[in-house]
Amino acid sequence: MTVHNSLILPLVTFHDVGMVVSLLAIAAGLIWLFIRSLKGMEVDRRIIFLFIFAAVAAPLLFPFTFSEKATPVVKALFNKVESLPPGSHVLLSYDFDPAMAPEVQPMANAFTRHCLEKGHKVIYMCLFATGQGQFEETMRDVIAPEFPDKVDGVDYVNLGYKAGNEGVLNVIVTDFEKMFPTDVNTVPYDSIEVFKGIKSCKDLDLIISIGGGRPGIKEWVLFVGDQADVPIATGVAAVVAPQLYPYYPKQLLGLLGGIKGAAEYESELVRNYPRFKDSPTPGLKMMGPQTLAHMVIMSFIVIGNIIFFTQRRRERKS
């Protein structure tokens, strides 16, 4: 009996049981929903909501993670950051608000890790006022704990937010100091070491806009990338990612779309830098709930269509 337990227990854990039970519960629920709908009975919208909640909550409680392989659009950006010599100037623009943060904050953190690890000089700024608050999260979760030796003003600088959307870009494309006479802590532009040899966006080696709304990457492409001929890449919320494909690869060298893009970048980062193996990878963790929720939504579409065709056939017969 003891031998039997020692063989079984490590293989079947509470986590596995929980995962299987929750998957079975969701599957059973979907079958119930299908039968109920087939009978023509009304299904309350709150039941649908419950399914989505379960599909998201179950993989969070009993996580299952997958390994991700970077797609060409993601790989292009990763390779660009990788190929720049240490000391290159990379601008990260936080053009997002809390509503987009679950999708794009993991990207912002991954870019920060990658750039600082490579020894690039990182310039942070934002076209969304909320971006300044979101940068504090990167500061708290990434820069402070993982790069304590990096110095503000020497290895990175936070310029903060300026109002005016594309108006801001139209100025910095020719003159940084005019728009940002100081950084966010009112340190004058001239005394910030990161800006040595940098007059405008034209002197930057790479610009990455992280966002998903307006102003965002579109404005960066129109007002800076195409005008100053600076390499531009982006990490955006999934909703806007399809709209940016016409710019790839000529006007946009790389593109991370939604949490999948973040997961691919995190995975590539961990593969290349084992040091980050224990760093948080929210993108990869979110792929479990994402997968299950997608399956449930696809089941809804299938069930809805079966009901639709069944009813249509019945109506035609009658």
Partner 1 sequence: MKRQVPLFITFFVGTLLILSVFIPPMENLGENFTLFFDIIAVFAFFLGGGNLLRVHFKKLSKKKRDWQYSIVTICGFFFMLAAGLFKIGNPGDIASSVTAEGSLFQTIYTNMFVPLGSTMYALLGFFVASASYRAFRAKNREATILLIAAFIILLGRTPFGTMLTVWIPDSMSIAQIPNLAIWIMNSFNLAGQRAILIGIGLGVVSMSLRLILGVERTYLGDDSA
Partner 2 sequence: MKKASWVIMALVTVVFVVSWIAKSSSYNGETDNYIAQGFLVTFAAFLTLSIMSFLYKDNPFYKFAEHLFVGISAAFWMCMGFWSTIVGNLIPRLSSSLSEWFKVPYIESDYNIAFYVPVVLGILLLMRLSSKRGWLSRWPLAFIVGTTAGLNFIRYLRSDFIKQISATLVPLVVDWQGVGHFFSTFSLSASGQFVAIVTNWVVFLGVFCGLIYFFFSKEHTGAFGRASRVGIWVLMITFGASFGYTVMGRISLLVGRITFLFKDWLEIIG
57 binds, among partner 1, partner 2, none (CB under 5 to 8 A by kind): partner 2
Q: Which does 86 bind (CB under 5 to 8 A by kind): partner 1, partner 2, none?
A: none
- Minimum CB distance to partner 2 smaller for 52 or for 117: 52
φ, ψ for residue 49, nearest 5 deg: -60, -40
Q: Concatenate the DSSP letters of all residues of the chain into one string.
A: -HHHHHHHTTTS-HHHHHHHHHHHHHHHHHHHHHHHHHTT----HHHHHHHHHHHHHHHHHS---------HHHHHHHHHHHHSPTT-EEEEEEE--TTTHHHHHHHHHHHHHHHHHHT-EEEEEESSHHHHHHHHHHIIIIIHHH-TT--BTTTEEEEEE-SSTHHHHHHHTT-HHHH-SB-TT--BGGG-GGGTT--SGGG-SEEEEEESSSSSHHHHIIIIIHHHT--EEEEE-TTTGGGGGGGTTTT-SEEEEHHHHHHHHHHHHHHH-GGGGGS--HHHHHHHHHHHHHHHHHHHHHHHHHHHHHHHHHHHH-
**Residue 269 touches which of partner 1, partner 2, none (Cβ within 5-8 Å per kind):** none
Q: Minimum distance from CB of 253 to partner 2 (Å)?
A: 14
Separation of alpha carbons 302 and 307, rounded Å: 9
- Residue whose CB is less far from partner 1, 84 or 135: 135
Q: How far is the CB of 121 from partner 1 (least distance, A)?
A: 20
Interface residues with partner 2 (CB under 8 A)?
46, 49, 52-53, 56-57, 60-61, 63, 99-103, 129-130, 132, 160-164, 166-167, 170, 179-182, 186, 188, 212, 221-223, 226-227, 237-239, 241-243, 246, 250-251, 257-260, 282, 286, 289-290, 293-294, 297
Of residues 10 and 242, the one with the C-beta less far from partner 1: 242
Query: Which residues pair with residue 156 across a beta bridge?
Result: 122, 152
Query: Of these partners, partner 1, partner 2, none, which one is at the site of residue 35 (CB under 5 to 8 Å by kind)?
Result: none
- Choosing among partner 2, partner 1, none, which partner's interface includes residue 295 (Cβ < 5 to 8 Å by kind)? partner 1
Minimum distance from residue 165 beta carbon to partner 1 (Å): 7
Backbone angles phi, psi at 256, to 5 degrees: -105, 120
Closest to partner 2 by CB, 111 or 220 = 220
Q: Which is nearer to partner 2, 63 or 153 (CB)?
A: 63
Least distance CB 143 / partner 1 (angstroms): 12
Q: Which is nearer to partner 2, 56 or 139 (CB)?
A: 56
Would you tell me which residues interact with partner 1 (CB under 8 A)?
A: 43, 45, 48-49, 51-53, 56, 66, 68, 71-72, 97-102, 130, 132-133, 135-136, 139-140, 158, 160, 162-165, 167-168, 170-171, 174-175, 178-179, 184-186, 242-243, 245-246, 248, 258, 260, 287, 290-291, 293-298, 300-301, 303-305, 308
